C-alpha cells in the first residue's frame, strides 16, 4: 500500500498515527497512580516561570506596535477612540494566543524535544526503566500536563501585558488616559471573545507538549537525532498551533 | 519455562542458577545479532562476557533485564522467564537487578543525592532520615561521599561510573549487570573501577555479569569468562584457561 502513496503522505500519516498513539498513552497513564507531583510542579516552574521574560517582552511589543501602527491610519478616519476596542478584540481573540503559542512552540517545544532526545541518546531513559520506574509517566506525563496548564496562563498573562503595551503607545502618542483606555478595552470584550480564545490555548499547550515529548522520547540513537528532535518539535508544534487555531475559529463562528 | 532447580557443579557443591538463557536469538535491523546464546550464571559468581564491539554483548544484557525482547529462546532470571513478564511484574523484578550503563547514564538535571534518591523513594518505604543515611552509606562505599551535592556535569568520567554504581547499589540488588564499565577511562581509573566491582562483589555477595573487552578488568573480576563470537559463545573458562586457549580468536583478547 505504501508504494501507492507519495512518500510525504506516508510520512505524514505515520506521524499522525504516532502522535495519536502517544496521546492515547498519555491519557491512559495520566490518571493512573503513582502520581509524580513533585516533578509536575518542577515542570510548571521550568515551563511557566522560565518563559516569563520572553513572553512579557513579546506581549508588550505586540500591544505597543499594534497601537502604534493603528494610530496614523485611524486618525485619518477620526476613529482614534476605536483603537482600544480594536486592540482588545484582536489581541484577546487572535494575536495574543497565536503569537505566544508560536513563541512557546519555539522555546518550550524545542526545549522538551532536545532534553528528552538527549536523555534518550545518553541512555538516561533506559536507566529509569531498569530502575523499575515508568519513564513515560515521569518524563512525558509531567511535561504534557505542565504545558497544557501553563501555556494558557502564559497567554493570558501575555495578553494583559500586550494591553498595557497598547495603552503606553496610545498614552504617549495620542494622550489617552488610563481609565478611558481600560474601560473601553473591557467593555469591548464579551464572553464570546474570551471563552473560545482561552479554551483553544489549552489545546495549544497540549499540542506543544505532545509534539516535543513525542519527538524527544522517540529520538533514535546518536547526537544528530537530538538536533532533529528539537527542530521537528518546533516545526510540527508551530504547524499544529496554526491548524488548531483555524479549527477553533471555525467552531467559534458556528457556536457563537 | 519458570522452574530453575539448583544445578550440581563440577566441584560437587549445589549452587543455584540465577540467570539461565537457552537458545536466545535476536535480530536487529535484519542482522542476526544473537544466534544461539546459552548462558548459566550461578548465585554469587562473576561472569565476564568478552567479545568484539557490535558482537551483541550489550544486547545479551538488555535481554536479561527485559529492555529488549528476544525473537526466540528463554531468558530465565531469578526463576522468572523475563519475556513473559507483564509491566508490573517486570518493574518488581527489576528492583532485584542493577544495570550499570557504559556512560553511567546519570540523570543530568538531578544532583548526585537526587540521582540516588530517585529509585529509593519509589521502591522503599523509608523515612527522610533513613533515605539520607542510605545515600551517604552507599556513596561512602564507592568513595564519593563528598560528591553528594554535585551535579553530574561536575564529575569526571570515573566519578560518574562510581555514582552510577552507587545508584544501582542503593536498592541492594541480587544481580548486577555491568555494560562496559571501564570504557572511556584511563588505565589507572579502569583498574580502580575493576577493583571497586570486586569490592562490591565481596561486600554485598551479588551475582555479576560484566560485559567488557578490557582484559585487565576481566582478569581482576572474573570467576568465569565466556567469549562471544558471531552470535554464539565460542569459548568458556577461567581467565587462566582461556589465556592458553588454542583458538586464535580467543587468544586475541589476551595479547
Is there a contact between B122 and A34 if contact means CB atoms under 8 Å apart?
yes
Q: Nearest residue of B to residue A134 by CA position?
A: B91
Check CB contact of B94 with chain A, cutoff 8 Å: yes
Name the residue among B67, B103, B123 with its Cβ closest to that of A130: B67
Task: Calculate how close chain B gets to A145, using CA atoms only, in Å.
Answer: 19
pLDDT at A132: 84
Name the residue among B108, B123, B171 with its Cβ closest to that of A124: B108
- 100-129 in A: which are within 8 Å (CB) of B? 115, 118-119, 122-124, 126-129
Question: Average pLDDT over chain B, rounded to whole?
Answer: 87
Q: Between B186 and A25, name the one with better pLDDT.
A: A25
Q: What's the domain range around A220? A: 37-255
- 27-86 in B: which are within 8 Å (CB) of A? 65, 67
pLDDT reading at B202 higher than 50: yes
Percent residues over pLDDT 70 in chain B: 95
Task: Calculate how close chain A gets to B252, using CA atoms only, in Å.
Answer: 30
Classify residue B180 by its DSSP letter.
Answer: S
Give the global pTM: 0.87
C-alpha cell belonging to residue A156: 493570558
Chain A CB contacts of B109 below 8 Å: 115
Q: Which residues contact B80 (CB under 8 A, 6 or more apart)?
A: B2, B89, B93
Place of cell 568458556: B236
Within-domain flag for B30: no
Is there a contact between A119 and B108 if contact means CB atoms under 8 Å apart?
yes
CA separation for the pair A120, A5 (Å, rounded)? 32
Ramachandran bin of B146, using left for φ above 0, alpha for ψ from -120 to 50, beta for the remaining angles: alpha
Chain A CB contacts of B67 below 8 Å: 126, 129-130
Within-domain flag for A248: yes
Neighbours of A127 (CB within 10 A): 26
Q: Which residues contact A240 (CB under 8 A, 6 or more apart)?
A: A105, A207, A208, A211
pLDDT at A8: 84
Task: Calculate how close chain B gets to A44, using CA atoms only, in Å.
Answer: 15
C-alpha cell belonging to residue A48: 511557566
Q: What's the domain range around B139? A: 108-172
Within-domain flag for A8: no
Q: Are strands B17-28 and B72-77 parallel, antiparallel or unpaired?
A: antiparallel
Phi, psi of B3 (to 5 degrees): -80, 140
Q: Are strands B224-229 and B72-77 parallel, antiparallel or unpaired?
A: unpaired
C-alpha cell belonging to residue A25: 498513552
pLDDT at A54: 96
Number of A to B CB contacts under 8 A, please give it.
Answer: 53
Within-domain flag for A6: no
The count of domains in chain B is 1
For chain A, 256 residues long, give each residue's pLDDT as a single digit of tens.
Answer: 456 778 888 888 988 999 999 999 999 999 998 899 999 999 999 999 999 999 999 999 999 999 999 999 888 888 888 999 999 999 999 999 999 999 999 999 999 999 999 999 999 999 999 988 899 999 999 999 999 999 999 999 999 999 999 999 999 998 889 999 999 999 999 998 999 999 999 999 999 999 999 999 999 878 889 999 999 999 999 999 999 999 999 999 998 8
Task: Calculate how close chain B gets to A243, using CA atoms only, in Å.
Answer: 34
Write down the ipTM of this complex.
0.84
Is there a contact between B94 and A131 if contact means CB atoms under 8 Å apart?
yes
C-alpha cell belonging to residue A121: 541518546
Is there a contact between B67 and A132 if contact means CB atoms under 8 Å apart?
no
Is there a contact between B171 and A131 if contact means CB atoms under 8 Å apart?
yes
Is there a contact between B105 and A124 if contact means CB atoms under 8 Å apart?
yes
Name the residue among A119, A129, A133 with its Cβ closest to that of B122: A133
Q: Residues A173-180: contacts with CB within 8 Å, 24+ apart?
A: A173/A67, A173/A68, A173/A71, A174/A71, A174/A75, A174/A80, A174/A83, A176/A80, A176/A83, A176/A84, A180/A84
Chain B CB contacts of A127 below 8 Å: 99, 101, 105-107
Is there a contact between A131 and B118 if contact means CB atoms under 8 Å apart?
yes
The SS3 call for residue B158 is helix
Within-domain flag for A31: no
Within-domain flag for B149: yes
Q: Nearest residue of B to residue A118 by CA position?
A: B108
Mutation pick from A37, A38, A114, A131 vs chain B, by most beta carbons of B within 10 Å, is A131
Name the residue among B67, B167, B168 with its Cβ closest to that of A129: B67
Within-domain flag for B29: no
Within-domain flag for B115: yes
Question: Average pLDDT over chain A, rounded to whole?
Answer: 93
The count of domains in chain A is 1
CA separation for the pair B99, B165 (Å, rounded)? 8
CA separation for the pair A61, A51 (Å, rounded)? 16
Q: Nearest residue of A to residue B121 by CA position?
A: A133
Within-domain flag for A27: no
pLDDT reading at B254 higher than 50: yes
What is the side-by-side order of every strand in the sheet holding B17-28? B80-81, B72-77, B17-28, B31-42, B232-237, B224-229, B46-51, B207-212, B175-179, B97-100
pLDDT at B10: 37
Task: Calculate how close chain B gets to A150, using CA atoms only, in Å.
Answer: 21
pLDDT at B61: 92
Determine the number of helices (DSSP H) and then strands (DSSP E) in chain A.
12, 0
CA separation for the pair A243, A204 (Å, rounded)? 10
Q: Between A88 and B214, name the one with better pLDDT.
A: A88
Helix axes A178-188, A83-90, angle to 10 degrees: 50
Check CB contact of B99 with chain A, cutoff 8 Å: yes
Over residues A43-78, the pLDDT tens digits come to 999 999 999 999 999 999 999 999 999 999 888 888
Chain B CB contacts of A216 below 8 Å: none
pLDDT reading at B3 higher than 50: no
Q: Between A66 and B9, name the one with better pLDDT.
A: A66
Within-domain flag for A32: no
Amino acid at each position: 500500500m505504501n508504494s501507492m502513496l507519495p512518500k510525504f503522505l506516508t510520512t505524514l500519516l505515520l506521524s499522525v498515527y504516532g502522535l495519536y498513539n502517544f496521546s492515547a498513552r498519555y491519557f491512559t497513564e495520566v490518571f493512573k497512580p503513582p502520581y509524580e507531583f513533585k516533578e509536575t510542579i518542577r515542570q510548571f516552574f521550568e515551563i511557566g516561570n522560565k518563559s516569563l521574560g520572553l513572553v512579557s517582552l513579546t506581549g508588550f511589543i505586540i500591544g505597543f506596535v499594534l497601537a502604534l501602527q493603528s494610530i496614523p491610519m485611524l486618525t485619518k478616519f477620526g476613529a482614534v477612540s476605536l483603537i482600544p476596542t480594536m486592540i482588545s478584540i484582536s489581541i484577546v481573540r487572535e494575536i495574543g494566543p497565536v503569537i505566544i503559542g508560536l513563541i512557546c512552540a519555539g522555546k518550550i517545544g524545542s526545549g522538551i524535544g532536545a532534553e528528552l532526545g538527549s536523555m534518550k541518546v545518553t541512555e538516561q531513559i533506559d536507566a529509569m526503566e531498569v530502575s523499575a520506574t515508568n519513564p513515560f509517566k515521569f518524563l512525558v506525563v509531567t511535561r504534557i500536563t505542565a504545558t497544557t496548564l501553563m501555556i494558557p496562563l502564559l497567554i493570558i498573562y501575555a495578553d494583559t501585558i500586550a494591553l498595557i503595551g497598547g495603552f503606553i503607545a496610545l498614552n504617549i502618542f495620542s494622550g489617552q488616559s488610563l481609565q478611558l483606555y481600560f474601560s473601553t478595552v473591557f467593555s469591548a470584550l464579551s464572553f464570546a471573545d474570551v471563552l473560545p480564545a482561552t479554551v483553544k490555548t489549552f489545546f495549544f499547550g497540549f499540542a506543544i507538549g505532545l509534539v516535543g515529548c513525542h519527538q524527544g522520547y522517540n529520538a533514535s540513537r546518536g547526537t544528530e537525532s537530538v538536533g532533529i528532535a528539537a527542530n521537528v518539535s518546533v516545526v510540527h508544534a508551530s504547524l499544529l498551533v496554526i491548524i488548531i487555531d483555524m479549527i477553533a475559529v471555525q467552531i467559534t463562528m458556528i457556536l457563537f | 519455562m519458570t522452574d530453575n532447580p539448583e544445578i550440581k557443579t563440577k566441584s560437587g557443591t549445589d549452587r543455584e542458577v540465577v540467570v539461565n538463557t537457552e537458545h536466545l536469538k535476536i535480530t536487529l535491523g535484519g542482522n542476526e545479532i544473537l544466534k544461539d546464546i546459552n548462558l548459566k550464571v550461578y548465585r554469587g559468581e562473576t561472569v565476564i562476557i568478552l567479545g568484539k564491539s557490535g558482537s551483541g554483548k550489550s544486547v545479551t544484557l538488555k535481554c536479561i533485564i527485559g529492555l529488549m525482547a528476544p525473537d526466540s529462546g528463554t531468558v530465565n532470571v531469578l526463576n522468572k522467564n523475563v519475556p513473559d513478564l507483564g509491566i508490573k511484574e517486570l518493574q518488581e523484578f527489576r528492583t532485584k537487578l542493577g544495570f550499570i550503563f557504559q556512560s553511567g547514564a546519570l540523570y543530568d538535571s538531578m544532583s548526585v543525592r537526587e540521582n540516588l534518591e530517585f529509585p529509593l523513594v519509589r521502591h522503599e518505604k523509608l523515612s527522610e532520615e533513613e533515605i539520607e543515611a542510605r545515600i551517604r552509606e552507599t556513596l561512602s562505599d564507592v568513595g564519593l561521599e563528598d560528591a553528594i551535592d554535585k551535579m553530574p556535569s561536575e564529575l569526571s568520567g570515573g566519578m560518574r561510573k562510581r555514582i552510577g554504581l552507587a545508584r544501582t547499589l542503593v536498592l541492594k540488588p541480587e544481580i548486577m549487570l555491568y555494560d562496559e564499565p571501564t570504557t572511556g577511562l584511563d588505565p589507572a581509573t579502569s583498574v580502580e573501577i575493576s577493583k571497586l566491582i570486586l569490592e562490591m562483589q565481596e561486600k554485598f555477595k551479588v551475582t555479576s555479569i560484566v560485559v567488557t573487552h578490557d582484559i585487565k578488568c576481566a582478569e581482576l573480576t572474573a570467576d568465569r569468562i565466556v567469549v562471544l563470537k558471531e552470535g554464539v559463545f565460542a569459548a568458556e573458562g577461567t581467565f587462566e584457561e582461556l589465556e592458553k586457549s588454542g583458538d586464535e580468536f580467543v587468544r586475541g583478547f589476551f595479547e
